[in-house]
Amino acid sequence: MRVLVATVVHHPEDARILHREITALLDHGHQVVYAAPFAARGVRPRPRPGLEGVDLPRAVGRDRRTALREARRVLAERGARADVVLLHDPELLLALPGLRRGWRAGGGPGPAVVWDVHEDTAAAIAMKRWVPRALRPPVRAVVRAAERIAERRIHLLLAEDAYQRRFRRTHPVVLNLATVPLSPPKPPGADRAVYLGQISRGRGAEDLIAMARLLYPEVRVEAIGAADGDVRGLLEAADRDGVLRWHGFLPNDQALARLDGALAGLSLLRDEANYRHSRPTKVVEYMAYGIPVVTTPTPLAAALVRANDCGIVVDFRDPRAAADAVRRLREDAGLRRAQGRRGRAAAAAGLNWPVHAEVFAGHLEGWASARAPQGRSDGAVSSR
């Protein structure tokens, strides 16, 4: 099977796209062309048998037309030779109209088109500072309408069970999970608390920095991930002061290695609509690496931590409570080690990506096999 994977928004090293889904396809013997903003993110495609990288511009803020125009060109050219086109951004839905006619011009059925739904796009509009406040309600309405059209015309793959509520049909879910290391990790230590993921105001950047100042020098907070422009200066200042170590973006394997032996993993998301029905992948990653979780009470994260007794839940926008939770874990080695063990066991039992990789690859293989014959209308393509 030949698969064209495309994104103009996500980092080319995105864990779900590259390290989970593309790796699963390669492990199943499929050929992958990965179109992503490599140069714009300062990375190069990783050489790997069966994987070809194609550079695209990056869509940032209101500057999206160039990226979409180039993405459409690549989709038109490379999609004609693919069995599956896997899209990771809602923006790329705008590049689809008219492409199928060209794909089928050679007499074949054209590729099966799949949208991997990572987030609640309409809810996330409220967090996009580049969208003027007055335009957010109509933009949300347009996004919802586009989602309804998409599910009639292409296949949908959802990253969360709760995303089903946005659609009229039932679509397969492939959860965004972590890979539990085969080798036992180090026991949780006593001097480093780690945050892993994109860093933004909505994800608690200001609370993370305030907590780091409260904990220093007994505990050093490490932040691993790319940062939104409006918080980058705050992180740089905290790093210069020595109260927080900001690593910036690290490749997935290097980032996960920083979890080994940490005191705790941090998830200080704010109470935003886009987070209320999403399971933060970082929480599962902390569990997989055997470290306690300190999280704000977003529903799925809090339920996971409480059900498995693998961390401490603190209030939203309360860096002092988060600092107190880390201190409690630092002072009680037995507690942090027990919570780490329980979290790792729970991740291994039901939240381990390799089990779900088979399901993911199976969906794409099934859709590729069931492609419509030439002449079937775009609107008749099943999304189930």
Give the pLDDT confidence of 218-228 residue by residue, as tens digits: 999 999 999 99
Q: Each residue of 325-340: pLDDT tens digit?
A: 999 999 999 999 999 9
- Residue 278: the pLDDT is 84
Name which residue leads in pLDDT, 152 or 258: 258
Contacts of 257 (CB under 8 A, 6+ apart): none
- Average pLDDT (43-67) is 90
At residue 130, the pLDDT reads 58
Q: Is the per-residue pLDDT at 61 higher than 90?
A: no
Cα–Cα distance, 146 to 93 (Å, whole number): 8
Quick one: pLDDT at residue 371? 85
Amino acid sitting at position 350: G
DSSP conformation class of 321: H
pLDDT at 148 over 90: no
Based on its alpha-carbon atoms, the radius of gyration of the chain, rounded to whole angstroms, reads 21
Q: Please, are residues 22 and 46 in contact by the beta-carbon 8 Å criterion?
A: no
Read off the DSSP letter of residue 55.
E
Is the backbone peptide bond immediately before 217 cis, with ω within 30 degrees of 0? yes
Provide the residue ranges of all domains of the chain, joining segments of one domain with +. 2-177+354-376, 192-350
pLDDT band at 144, cuts 50/70/90?
confident
**Per-residue model confidence as pLDDT tens digits over 249-297:** 999 999 999 999 999 999 999 998 878 888 899 999 999 999 999 999 9
247 token code pair: 């690593």
Which of 137-151, 158-172, 304-318 has maximum average pLDDT? 304-318
* Long-range contacts formed by 210-216: CB under 8 A, 24+ apart: 210/319, 211/266, 211/268, 211/319, 211/320, 211/322, 211/323, 211/326, 212/238, 212/243, 212/244, 213/238, 213/243, 213/244, 214/319, 214/320, 214/323, 215/243, 215/323, 215/326, 215/327, 216/242, 216/243, 216/244
CA pseudo-torsion sign 15, 381, 99, 4: positive
Dump strand ranges (E) for 49-128.
51-55, 84-87, 112-117
The span from the CA of 61 to the CA of 67, in Å, is: 12
pLDDT for residue 375: 36
Residues in the chain: 384
What CATH number has the domain spanning 192-350?
3.40.50.2000
Give the pTM.
Answer: 0.88
Find residue 63's DSSP bridge partners: 60
pLDDT given for residue 139 in this prediction? 63
Greatest alpha-carbon span in the chain: 69
- Phi first, then psi, for residue 365 (nearest 5°) are -65, -40
Is the model's pLDDT at 129 over the cut of 70? no
CATH class, 2-177+354-376 region? alpha beta
Nearest-CA neighbor of 194 among 255, 125, 137?
255
DSSP state of 48: B
> pLDDT digit string (tens) for 32-46?
999 999 999 999 988
What is the residue whose two structure tokens read 């999206």?
Answer: 64
Q: Is 192-350 the same fold as 2-177+354-376? A: yes
